[in-house]
Amino acid sequence: MTNPIHIGFLIYPQVTQLDATGPAQVLSLVPGAIIHFIWKTTDPVPTDAGFAILPTDDFDSCPDLDVICIPGGLGQGAIMDDQDVLAFVRRQGEQARYVTSVCSGSLLLGAAGLLTNYKAACHWLLRDRLPDFGAEPVAERVVRDRNRISGGGVTAGIDFGLTLAEELAGEQAAKIAQLFLEYDPCPPFDAGTPEKAGPELEATVRAMVADVSL
């Protein structure tokens, strides 16, 4: 009988849903995995894509997690100093087997004091903020440093999910998940990093989030 593996994602208002739902879909295929979407209440939580996610747990009902994952999102600035959120993340992070993030979620791990002297990934727009929290930024889609595993921006969450699936259940299980999900990306454009996209597109994207505070 497979032991349960409790994997929790913090879901907050204006979270980037793919940061959470992408790896959650991958990790749901790990034998024994139980996925938790967690917020202060179990009321629907609006995402930055315009639809809501229904949490499975609140901070009090959430069990001790084997994996805690913090996704990024446009609403993250509103919780970077939220003591209830930071206390929950810190409490779970101090006992979890793996402390993880996707996109700008690594900054919230840092704000909770969980990335000091660790290497970490982050969305390229915010990667230079990691040293503010004692972390070492790394420009990779997935970064592993001891029991900290972090994914880069948004779509890197799928790569992150497969990496974590291998950690939890082995390479074969991760490959089965990859094949089941037909994860064989071949995008129609090659503009997924600032270096590939060029300065004009980079400036356009920076302008899109110029008023967002994280």
CATH of the domain at 21: 3.40.50.880
Is 103 considered catalytic here? yes
d(CA 192, CA 169): 30
Judge contact between 191 and 155, C-beta under 8 A: no
User: Is residue 59 one of the residues assigned to a domain?
Assistant: yes
**Considering the domain boundaries, does residue 211 fall inside one?**
no
Predicted local distance difference test score (pLDDT) of residue 2? 77
Report pLDDT for 213. Answer: 75
Residue 96 structural domain:
5-186
Which pLDDT score is estimated for 200? 97
pLDDT confidence of residue 1: 63
Q: Given 62, 69, 103, 122, which residue is catalytic? A: 103
The pLDDT of residue 109 is 99
pLDDT of 214 reads 75
- Tell me which residues of the chain have a pLDDT lower than 70: 1
Quick one: pLDDT at residue 3?
92
Report the domain count for the chain: 1
pTM above 0.95, yes or no: yes
Q: Which segments of 11-158 are extended strands (E)?
A: 33-39, 45-46, 52-53, 57-58, 67-70, 98-102, 119-120, 136-137, 142-145, 148-151
